[in-house]
Amino acid sequence: MKILVTGGAGFIGSHTVVELLQASAEVIIVDNLSNSSPQALQRVAEISGKAPQFVKADVRDRAALQEIFKEHQPEAVVHFAGLKAVGESVEQPLSYYQNNITGTATLCEVMAEFGCKQLVFSSSATVYGDPEILPITENAPTGATNPYGRTKLFIEEMLRDLHVSDPEWRIALLRYFNPIGAHSSGRIGEDPAGIPNNLFPFISQVAIGKLPHLSVFGNDYATVDGTGVRDYIHVVDLAIGHLRALERLAKAPGLVTCNLGTGRGYSVLEMVAAFSRISGCEVPYQIKPRRAGDIAACYADPSFAKQELGWQAERGLEEMCQDGWRWQQGNRQGYRGSNG
Ligand code: NAD
Ligand code: WQD
């Protein structure tokens, strides 16, 4: 199968491309490299033993997309390309609406023009806002608390409207929980620019000594130890979920919305303890006030993904920490400063 992967040089995209190539798919990547490195693509090829085709372009560039569709005629698209930093989205909302919403609309228009109507979209658990009931099922109420989250909500609505207007479309809306870890080779992983916003890369940079300590944002939530609880999922499990979703779309028409999580939540302090144990390094931390917009707890009911896609997460917290630590140790500066 020929698959176009937008944002395929990024964290989740690069891991998904490895799984696709290993499953004998032909992969074309379109990425503007605004938040990723060409090194990731070299390493994807090294791990997989074959290279994906790569076009450096923006998904808002209609002419570039048309060229790609003309030349490669992909049968399906996995759409990761977009901006994802919550804080930045509050400061630069138009850039988020422009990249995420206009990007997706342009992509879908070009797909329709070339008769390609199978799409897997990267949504997020952020669409559940502050959940009333845990674990979260797909029919829980949605709502967003920041522009980034709103782009995901609006895109989901746009894709539902598209499917209503033309039921030939086959669409999977995958709501990711908190992807962490790295490929077991240690060659690809998460490479945040500057100081990480997310917990796992922050802990990992403290463990290796790049950052002095972790700030724990609040210890007065109604959780096991007062710190925030999240459903961390190994990025390779998440990547495999995309293959199952593509298989599902190939089998039956329709629009399907699935949580991709493990169903198990861990607190910030549980994450610190697990990472320290696996790495053998201390992770000093200081308790700080709550971070604006944070919620107490968020974890998935993943049973619908199992039923609908035949997918469930297989890798536990230990493996997430081991693989994330291997990546951190082998790539202290991420992809920067590396020639291969
Ligand atoms: P990432 O930033 O590592 O990957 C996104 C990729 O898209 C990058 O390579 C970037 O260069 C590219 N890109 C951005 N805008 C583009 C554009 N306009 N045209 C072409 N390429 C563009 O992020 P990620 O963590 O791999 O996330 C992938 C997707 O999953 C995103 O849509 C994100 O919102 C979503 N998501 C991520 C998480 C998470 O915690 N990482 C959770 C839920 C959902
Ligand atoms: C996890 C927990 C923090 C950093 C974000 C986005 C969400 C999704 C995934 C894309 C929370 C605590 C964190 C730190 C801390 N992305 N924390 N110190 O907030 O669940 O989700 O990434 O869709 O949209 O909002 O993930 O890793 O930032 O935080 O104490 O330095 O760790 O308060 O409880 P979050 P996170």
Nearest-atom number in ligand 2 for the CA of 295 is: 34
pTM: predicted TM-score of the whole model, two decimal places = 0.98
pLDDT for position 38: 97
Residue 135: is the preceding peptide bond cis (ω within 30°)?
yes
Per-residue pLDDT for 54 more than 90?
A: yes
176 lines ligand 1 (CB under 6 A): yes
334: left (phi over 0), alpha (psi -120 to 50) or beta: left
| pLDDT per residue as tens digits for the range 183-231 | 999 999 999 999 999 999 999 999 999 999 999 999 999 999 999 999 9
> Ligand 1, from 35, 102, 178: best to mutate by most atoms within 8 Å of Cβ?
35
191 lines ligand 1 (CB under 6 A): no
pLDDT for position 336: 85
Q: Which residues pair with 121 in a beta bridge?
A: 79, 173
Mean pLDDT of 35-51: 97
In angstroms, the first-to-last Cα distance of the chain is: 28
Task: Report, as residue numbers or ranges, the catalytic residues.
Answer: 148
Show the domains of the chain with their CATH numbers: 2-337 (3.40.50.720)
| pLDDT per residue as tens digits for the range 219-273 | 999 999 999 999 999 999 999 999 999 999 999 999 999 999 999 999 999 999 9
**What is the token pair recorded at 106?**
């342009």
27 lines ligand 2 (CB under 6 A): no
Per-residue pLDDT for 337 more than 70?
A: no
pLDDT for position 339: 56
pLDDT for position 182: 98
> Ligand 2, from 11, 35, 86: best to mutate by most atoms within 8 Å of Cβ?
86
Alpha carbon distance 305, 166 (integer Å): 24
pLDDT for position 340: 59
Query: Which residue has its alpha carbon closest to ligand 1 atom 22?
Result: 81
Q: What one-letter code names the amino acid at 67?
A: E
Per-residue pLDDT for 306 more than 90?
A: yes
| pLDDT per residue as tens digits for the range 64-81 | 999 999 999 999 999 999
Tokens 């964290």 identify what position? 11
**What is the token pair recorded at 243?**
């293959």
pLDDT for position 325: 98
